[in-house]
C-alpha cells in the first residue's frame, strides 16, 4: 500500500498539530518542514524526527517531491502559497479559511480543479469524534427532523471571530443541513449599527471585516434555519464555542471535544426535561492516542488518504470551504447593506471594500497583526 510523503509549510501551533496527525497515520510520513522561522522549524523537526528542513518552498518541493503539502501559515498567504504548490501537482491541505475574499477563492478552486488534485481545507472539527457522533445520532432519528441550529464562537471581536472560528461552525452547518441558500445579518460596533468607517483590516491576516458583534441567520433547504453569533466578550471563552441542534423530538449540543443528546425537544425550567445524555464519541479507525495526535487531526489525515485513493473530494473539500467563504462574505454584505443576500453571490468583489468606496472612502489602513494590540487600537479608535 502506498505511503504518502507529507511536507509542512508553517511550523507554528497549527502546523504542529496537523503534522502530528500525519505523523501518527500509518499511510503518511512527514518528510520535510518549511518555515521562515528557524526556531519553529527546528522545534517541530526535533519532535517528529524530521531531517529535511527548508526556508525556501520551491527548493523543498524540487528536492523532496511530497505527495501532500500542508499550508498552515497566516490566512493572507494561503492564496499565493497554494498556487505555487499547485505548480508541482501536489495535493493540498490548507488551514482555514481558504482565502480572505471570493475573487481569490474562485481562482484557487478553478486552478485546483484544472490540476485534478485534492484540495482540502482544515476544518478538522467536522471529522472529529463528537461531530461524527452527532451525525450518526441525527441519521438514526434521535432528534426527529432537524429544524434549527444555533452557534456561538468564543467571544473574539465579531468580524475577526467570523473569519476565524466561525468558519468551523459554518462548515459544520453544511455537514448537518446542506448548502446555505441565503443570509441575513446585523453587525454593531459600540452598540450602534456599523458604518463604512468601521470597516477595518482584521488581526491575524484575516482580511477586511466590520462589526464588534455580529448576529447572522442562514437559511437552508427544507426550511432549516441556523443562527451564528460572533459577539465580542470581555474575555474569550472556549466553552462558548459550540452548536445546538434543535429537532422535532429532541436536541443535541455539540462542542469541540464532546456532544450530548436531550431526548425531548424543549428545556423545562424545573429541570425535569434537562436530562442531557452524552453521545459516545466515534474515534477514527486505527487511531492510537499513544501516537500523540489529536483524534480530529488523525481523522483529517485519514480522510486525505482515502479521498486521494478513491479519486473523490475530501469531506472538508475546497468546494465546501469555498461555500463557507461565500457565507462569510454574505454575512458581511448583509450587515453592511441591511438586506438578505442570496447565495451564491453574483458580485465577487469584497462587499465591505465596495461599501467603503461607495461612501467615498479608500481602503482601510493596515493595523497590528497581534490580536491584543489590535483590540487596543480599536478601543482607541472608538474613544474608549
Residues of the chain predicted below pLDDT 50: none
252 with 279: CB under 8 angstroms?
Answer: yes
Residues 6+ apart with CB under 8 A from 141: none
Per-domain boundaries in the chain: 4-126+287-315, 129-285+316-384
State which CATH number among 3.40.50.300, 3.40.190.10, 3.30.360.10, 3.40.50.1110 fits the domain covering 129-285+316-384: 3.30.360.10
What pLDDT was estimated at residue 272? 66
Q: Is 179 helix (H, G, I), strand (E, B) or coil?
A: coil
User: How far is C-alpha 272 from the chain's CA centre?
Assistant: 37
Residues 6+ apart with CB under 8 A from 7: 30, 31, 32, 33, 34, 60, 61, 64, 66, 68, 69, 70, 90
Question: Does residue 205 come out as left (phi exceeding 0), alpha (psi in the -120 to 50 range) or beta?
Answer: left
Pull the grid cell for residue 16: 504542529
Whole-number Cα distances in Å, 45 to 9, 29, 50, 356? 12, 13, 5, 45
pLDDT digits (tens, 9 = 90+) for 42-69: 999 999 999 999 999 999 999 999 999 9
- Show the 3-state SS of 49-67: CCCEEECCHHHHHHHHCCC
pTM more than 0.75: yes
Pull the grid cell for residue 106: 474562485
User: How far is C-alpha 290 from the chain's CA centre?
Assistant: 27
- The CB-side HSE value for 201 (13 A sphere, CA atoms) comes to 13
Radius of gyration of the chain (CA): 21
What pLDDT was estimated at residue 197? 98
pLDDT digits (tens, 9 = 90+) for 232-255: 999 999 989 999 999 999 999 999
Whole-number Cα distances in Å, 343 to 108, 169, 270, 315, 318? 19, 18, 42, 21, 17
pLDDT digits (tens, 9 = 90+) for 316-365: 999 999 999 999 999 999 999 999 999 999 999 999 999 999 999 999 99
Q: What CATH class does 4-126+287-315 carry?
A: alpha beta
Amino acid at each position: 500500500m502506498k505511503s504518502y510523503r507529507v511536507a509542512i509549510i508553517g511550523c507554528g501551533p497549527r502546523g504542529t498539530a496537523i503534522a502530528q496527525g500525519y505523523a501518527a497515520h500509518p499511510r503518511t510520513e512527514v518528510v520535510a518542514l518549511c518555515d521562515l522561522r528557524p526556531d519553529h522549524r527546528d522545534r517541530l523537526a526535533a519532535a517528529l524526527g524530521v531531517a529535511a528542513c527548508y526556508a525556501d518552498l520551491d527548493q523543498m518541493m524540487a528536492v523532496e517531491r511530497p505527495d501532500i503539502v500542508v499550508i498552515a501559515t497566516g490566512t493572507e498567504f494561503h492564496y499565493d502559497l497554494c498556487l505555487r504548490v499547485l505548480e508541482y501537482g501536489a495535493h493540498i491541505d490548507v488551514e482555514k479559511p481558504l482565502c480572505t475574499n471570493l475573487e481569490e477563492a474562485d481562482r484557487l478552486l478553478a486552478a485546483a480543479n484544472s490540476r485534478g488534485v485534492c484540495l482540502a481545507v482544515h476544518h478538522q472539527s467536522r471529522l472529529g469524534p463528537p461531530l461524527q457522533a452527532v451525525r450518526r445520532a441525527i441519521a438514526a432519528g434521535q432528534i426527529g427532523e432537524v429544524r434549527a441550529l444555533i452557534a456561538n464562537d468564543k467571544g473574539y471581536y465579531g468580524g475577526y471571530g467570523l473569519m476565524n472560528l466561525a468558519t468551523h461552525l459554518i462548515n459544520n452547518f453544511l455537514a448537518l443541513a446542506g448548502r446555505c441558500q441565503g443570509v441575513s445579518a446585523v453587525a454593531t460596533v459600540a452598540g450602534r449599527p456599523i458604518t463604512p468607517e468601521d470597516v477595518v483590516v482584521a488581526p491575524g491576516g484575516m482580511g477586511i471585516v466590520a462589526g464588534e458583534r455580529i448576529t447572522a441567520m442562514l437559511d437552508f433547504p427544507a426550511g432549516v434555519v441556523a443562527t451564528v453569533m460572533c459577539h465580542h466578550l470581555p474575555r474569550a471563552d472556549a466553552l462558548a464555542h459550540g452548536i445546538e441542534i434543535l429537532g422535532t423530538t429532541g436536541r443535541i449540543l455539540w462542542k469541540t471535544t464532546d456532544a450530548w443528546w436531550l431526548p425531548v425537544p424543549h428545556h423545562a425550567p424545573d429541570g425535569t426535561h434537562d436530562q442531557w445524555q452524552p453521545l459516545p464519541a466515534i474515534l477514527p479507525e486505527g487511531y492510537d492516542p499513544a501516537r500523540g495526535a489529536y483524534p480530529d487531526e488523525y481523522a483529517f489525515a485519514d480522510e486525505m488518504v482515502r479521498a486521494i485513493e478513491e479519486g473523490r473530494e475530501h469531506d472538508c473539500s475546497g468546494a465546501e470551504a469555498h461555500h463557507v467563504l461565500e457565507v462569510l462574505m454574505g454575512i458581511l454584505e448583509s450587515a453592511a447593506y441591511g438586506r438578505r443576500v442570496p447565495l451564491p453571490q453574483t458580485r465577487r468583489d469584497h462587499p465591505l471594500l465596495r461599501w467603503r468606496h461607495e461612501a467615498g472612502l479608500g481602503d482601510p489602513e493596515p493595523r497590528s497583526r497581534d490580536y491584543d494590540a489590535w483590540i487596543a487600537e480599536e478601543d482607541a479608535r472608538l474613544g474608549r
